[in-house]
A and B are shown apart, each in its own frame.
Chain A
Amino acid sequence: MLKRFRYQIAIFASVVGPGLITANVDNDSGGILTYSQAGAKYGYLPLWTLIPITLLLIVTQEMCSRMGAVTGKGLSDLIREEFGLRTTFFLMIALVLTNFTNVIAEFAGIASSLEVFNISRYITVPICAIAVWLLVVRGSYRSVEKVFLVACTLYVTYIFSAFLLKPDWKEAAIYSVKPILMFDEGYITMLIAMVGTSIAPWMQFYLQSAIVEKGITAKEYVQSRIEVIVGCILTDVVAFFIIVSCAAAIWAHGPKDINDAKDAALALKPFGQYAYVLFSAGLFNASFFAACILPLSTVYTVCEGLGFESGVDKRFKEAPEFYWLFTLLVVLGAGVILWPNFPLVKMILGSQVLNGVLLPVILIYMVMLINKKSLMKEWTNSHAYNAVAWISVIIMIGLTLALASITVKQLTQPSGGAALEHDSKPLAQVKGDDAGGHAFKLDTRESNGTHLLR
């Protein structure tokens, strides 16, 4: 009996990694920025979106992990085998571009998290880039995975910082389950952005490859699925505490816009030394962690799909494309941050558009693949699951396309910087007399057509 139990534990231990890591990298610097913005500007109101986001995340991630476990092949492998080289090639180009801008965003996160402590980016970014390169290229998969799992636990800093800020837990609890929809462009954009940063194209590829790399098979799939679901939930728990922190520290004293996760950290400063240190440490951890995973995931995906030799256990000479692409992504990604006057904001907005265009395509391919009997045997989706999957896909497509079009609109506005400045005026906050406690009077430009739906 005990032996049986030990065996179960051993199996579970052998599947831990892929799901947790993927889910946590999801809270990268872009994610933290989005959640901070949401909390700073709208307080506890956007919290309700976290539950549907978690569900969407679970549906997509579960499909990937199942495909990985059953077929033993990565997502790009499967796309190549089932849809041919040309499809794969263009998908890979799009993925490299999207992920490259994401890598830039991670290095930006590293730079700004340490600038909070007055350390220049010209010191931190090169050092971190070298560290990322060495960790991934010189470490073995197992040891690297351990480092990443430790990094996952560091997200706790956000929970501590939230408690230090003494938020209004009652409100947080109420708005976590009470959907609030306002027809206000800023609010809608924020909601879409939250979904958009939570479910990204690279995750699908990374998770599936990690499952395969870990050697998880259909037999261990039940345990693996639990791990994936736990990962998804944890991600959004962290997101919850980030939003709550910013709501307590910033929004409660007057909603405002922040343009940078650093702004959020600095805004926490008056409320206590520790909260702001923890917040910045969390940001650094998340950015560094993602800066390792993203380029690595990108090169794995590309090399698998296009048939180049890949793997950190290969030598430089055996897998030149693999190492060159990885090195380029890290060096250019970090280099761009040090480039004075680089249009960083435009680039990151652009990456959101690409994300939005790429994600639906990948989700559609995923649902098509997972329903192929020849690949998945008895593990294809059930009818009910398919309905859920397609609905999720359609929701995702709608939301990401909406986000993409809003971003395109911002990008095509005459002056580039205006995109982010346009709503940077402080908003007036008025205490309402309805039961919920808060109603918003938005400044005149944005209040046109604003309704509050309860």
Chain B
Amino acid sequence: MADELLFLTELLGLKVYDLKGRRLGFVKDAAIVPLIHPSRVDRFLLGGGWAWLTVKHDQVRSISLDGIYLKDELLTPYHSDEYVLRLVRDLLDQQIIDGQGRKVVRVTDVTFKIQHAENGDLLHIDDVDIGLRSMFRRLAQGVIPRRLVRRLQEVIPPHSLRWEHCSILEADPQRRLRLNVSNEILERMHPADLADIVEDLSPDDREAIFETIDSEVAAEALTEVEPDIQASILESLETEKAAEIVEEMAPHEAADALAELEEQTSEDILEEMGPEPKTEVEELLEFAENSAGGLMNTEYVALPENATVAEAMEGLKAHEEILETLNTLFLVDADGRLTAAVPLAKLFIAAGATPLKDLASEPLLQVDVEEKQDRITEIFDKYNLLALPVVDETGKLAGAITADEVISLLRQK
């Protein structure tokens, strides 16, 4: 039944009547209190008299296009409240994040469902409307009668998002907590999608999200964000939080991010980091950005040169966190010098006792930490590599450059 729905644009200006059917005023705004209920309209704000009045949801008998009828007349004057999300002030025309479409959208209207309960009607936010239909509704409202607007809008296809898939933006971290803005929707997204969204937001909104979101998710997303935005986000955060996020990033990504910052800021952040990630990042920061040392990452798996397939399989269990992108194992001698590179896939068809050395790719390709990036991309192209080991001047394995790094490099050109 179409009557079961009500749009925010229709709600605004709706007349409110008391028990005797006298008009008290017009609806000016409606508010939810997310801490109490995520979608129920908690109160209506009434204008028309001297001051705005508050109608609580349990004072309402019925809601329809004909008006709102109350069952209780004890209304309190309206006063602003940090826990309240006012739909017209805080939601309408503002940007929100569409968790399913994974993009930032602007709210044009809100669709409520009227719920007929025993002791009175309740409004629940059902959808957030963003399309042309809601735009038409907004423009036509107040100019032509509500019911005619409903009939005319039928010709335009609707475009709405479910309220539960939306994440509102609130730039003030304190108020974010009071409004119970959950980052769950963002944390469930692919980091690359989250990064795209973050790039579309204003600096304040970015800061608020990174300030409150889980550090691990933040680190993954930040890795995918463009370097200059990355820098501005890190600079805007509290040093402690920034350090927490940088610690969670892969060391070479962390080094790249810190290299973009002003020296003082990056030192402050390093200062806050734990000793182990700190030294690792600091070492990487020493390398020139466009050299092998600047491109490599230090998340590789190196095994003794006499290890067998079975030992390698066992050893991999300790590196679960990097398995998703791992494709090559490196063998090193007792002094840590690189002796061979073994494609991971070869392990699966070899017997457990096979020495890894026998599976090594020929010839062994490696570059010096000082090698220029043009030469590196050339080697990747020529030998169709997925990973290329990087060694220092004594031949010790220092890190590895992976194909995704080379792709980013080429795309920047």
Q: Are B235 and A85 in contact (CB under 8 A)?
A: no
Partner of B135 from the list A3, A85, A218 (CB cut-off 8 Å) is A85
Do A72 and B138 contact each other (CB < 8 Å), given the known contacts A215-B229, A217-B232, A309-B103?
A: no
Q: Are B263 and A84 in contact (CB under 8 A)?
A: no
Q: Are B106 and A86 in contact (CB under 8 A)?
A: no
Within 8 A of A (CB), among B90-148: 92-95, 103, 105-106, 108, 130, 135, 138-139
Q: How far is the CA of A258 from the CA of B232 in the complex (A)?
A: 51
Q: Are B228 and A85 in contact (CB under 8 A)?
A: no
**Minimal beta-carbon separation of B259 from chain A (angstroms):** 12
Chain B 356-400 against A: per-residue CB contact (8 Å), 1 yes, 0 no?
000000000000000000000000000000000000000000000
Return chain B residues, CB-CB under 8 Å to A309: 103
Partner of B130 from the list A14, A89, A307 (CB cut-off 8 Å) is A307
Q: Are B204 and A72 in contact (CB under 8 A)?
A: yes
Count contacts on B: residues with CB < 8 A to the other chain: 24
Q: How far is the CA of A140 from the CA of B94 in the complex (A)?
A: 28
Give the residue name and chain of the B residue nearest to A72 (CB).
B202
Q: Are A85 and B139 in contact (CB under 8 A)?
A: yes
Q: Are A307 and B106 in contact (CB under 8 A)?
A: yes
Give the residue name and chain of the B residue nearest to A79 (CB).
B93
Count contacts on A: residues with CB < 8 A to the other chain: 20
Give the residue name and chain of the B residue nearest to A83 (CB).
B93
Return chain A residues, CB-CB under 8 Å to B103: 309
Q: Are B138 and A85 in contact (CB under 8 A)?
A: yes
> Which among B92, B106, B139, B204 has the highest number of chain A CB atoms within 10 Å?
B106
**Minimal beta-carbon separation of A30 from chain B (angstroms):** 32
Q: Are B202 and A3 in contact (CB under 8 A)?
A: no
Within 8 A of B (CB), among A1-39: 3, 7, 14
Chain A 293-326 against B: per-residue CB contact (8 Å), 1 yes, 0 no?
0000000000000110100000000000000000
Q: How far is the CA of A89 from the CA of B94 in the complex (A)?
A: 15
Q: Are B202 and A80 in contact (CB under 8 A)?
A: no
Whether A81 sits at the interface, judged by CB under 8 Å, is yes
Give the residue name and chain of the B residue nearest to A321 (CB).
B132
Do A3 and B106 contact each other (CB < 8 Å), given the known contacts A71-B202, A80-B93?
A: no
Q: How far is the CA of A3 from the CA of B139 in the complex (A)?
A: 56
Return chain A residues, CB-CB under 8 Å to B226: 215
Q: Are B228 and A14 in contact (CB under 8 A)?
A: yes
Whether A219 sits at the interface, judged by CB under 8 Å, is yes
Give the residue name and chain of the A residue nearest to B202 (CB).
A72
Whether A73 sits at the interface, judged by CB under 8 Å, is yes
Do A7 and B262 contact each other (CB < 8 Å), given the known contacts A215-B228, A309-B103?
A: yes
Whether B326 sits at the interface, judged by CB under 8 Å, is no
Q: How far is the CA of A85 from the CA of B134 in the complex (A)?
A: 11
**Minimal beta-carbon separation of B407 from chain A (angstroms):** 16
Give the residue name and chain of the A residue nearest to B232 (CB).
A217
Return chain A residues, CB-CB under 8 Å to B106: 80, 306-307
Partner of A219 from the list B135, B201, B235 (CB cut-off 8 Å) is B235
Whether B48 sits at the interface, judged by CB under 8 Å, is no
Whether B158 sits at the interface, judged by CB under 8 Å, is no
Do A217 and B135 contact each other (CB < 8 Å), given the known contacts A80-B93, A85-B108?
A: no
> Which among B103, B201, B203, B235 has the highest number of chain A CB atoms within 10 Å?
B203
Return chain A residues, CB-CB under 8 Å to B201: 72
Partner of A72 from the list B93, B105, B203, B262 (CB cut-off 8 Å) is B203
Q: How far is the CA of A72 from the CA of B263 in the complex (A)?
A: 24
Partner of B93 from the list A7, A85, A219 (CB cut-off 8 Å) is A85
Do A219 and B232 contact each other (CB < 8 Å), given the known contacts A72-B203, A81-B94, A309-B103?
A: yes
Do A217 and B93 contact each other (CB < 8 Å), given the known contacts A85-B135, A307-B105, A307-B108?
A: no
**Minimal beta-carbon separation of B230 from chain A (angstroms):** 10
Give the residue name and chain of the A residue nearest to B200 (CB).
A311
**Minimal beta-carbon separation of A138 from chain B (angstroms):** 16
Q: Are A86 and B138 in contact (CB under 8 A)?
A: yes
Give the residue name and chain of the A residue nearest to B130 (CB).
A307
**Minimal beta-carbon separation of A212 from chain B (angstroms):** 8
Give the residue name and chain of the B residue nearest to A306 (CB).
B135
Q: How far is the CA of A304 from the CA of B229 in the complex (A)?
A: 20
Give the residue name and chain of the B residue nearest to A69 (CB).
B203
Give the residue name and chain of the A residue nearest to B141 (CB).
A86
Chain B 72-99 against A: per-residue CB contact (8 Å), 1 yes, 0 no?
0000000000000000000011110000
**Minimal beta-carbon separation of B182 from chain A (angstroms):** 23
Do A73 and B135 contact each other (CB < 8 Å), given the known contacts A3-B263, A84-B93?
A: no
Give the residue name and chain of the B residue nearest to A70 (CB).
B203
Q: How far is the CA of A7 from the CA of B232 in the complex (A)?
A: 15
Q: How far is the CA of A218 from the CA of B203 in the complex (A)?
A: 9
Q: Are A81 and B93 in contact (CB under 8 A)?
A: yes
**Minimal beta-carbon separation of B235 from chain A (angstroms):** 7
Chain A 54-81 against B: per-residue CB contact (8 Å), 1 yes, 0 no?
0000000000000000011100010011
Give the residue name and chain of the B residue nearest to A87 (CB).
B93
Return chain A residues, CB-CB under 8 Å to B93: 80-81, 84-85
Give the residue name and chain of the A residue nearest to B94 (CB).
A81
Q: How far is the CA of A85 from the CA of B202 in the complex (A)?
A: 20
Q: How far is the CA of A85 from the CA of B135 in the complex (A)?
A: 8
Return chain A residues, CB-CB under 8 Å to B95: 77
Q: How far is the CA of A309 from the CA of B95 in the complex (A)?
A: 12
**Minimal beta-carbon separation of B175 from chain A (angstroms):** 12
> Which among A86, A217, A307 has the highest number of chain B CB atoms within 10 Å?
A307
Partner of A73 from the list B130, B202, B263 (CB cut-off 8 Å) is B202
Can you spell out 20 A-B residue pairs with CB atoms less than 8 angstroms apart? A7-B262, A7-B263, A14-B228, A72-B201, A72-B203, A72-B204, A73-B202, A80-B93, A81-B94, A84-B92, A85-B93, A85-B108, A85-B138, A86-B138, A215-B229, A215-B232, A217-B203, A217-B232, A219-B232, A307-B108
Question: When A and B form their complex, which 4 residue pairs have the shortest distance between CB atoms, in order from nearest?
Answer: A307-B106, A72-B202, A72-B203, A85-B138
- Chain A residues in the interface with B (C-beta under 8 A): 3, 7, 14, 71-73, 77, 80-81, 84-86, 89, 215, 217-219, 306-307, 309
Known A80-B93, A86-B138; further 5 A-B contacts with Cβ < 8 A: A7-B262, A72-B203, A72-B204, A81-B93, A215-B232
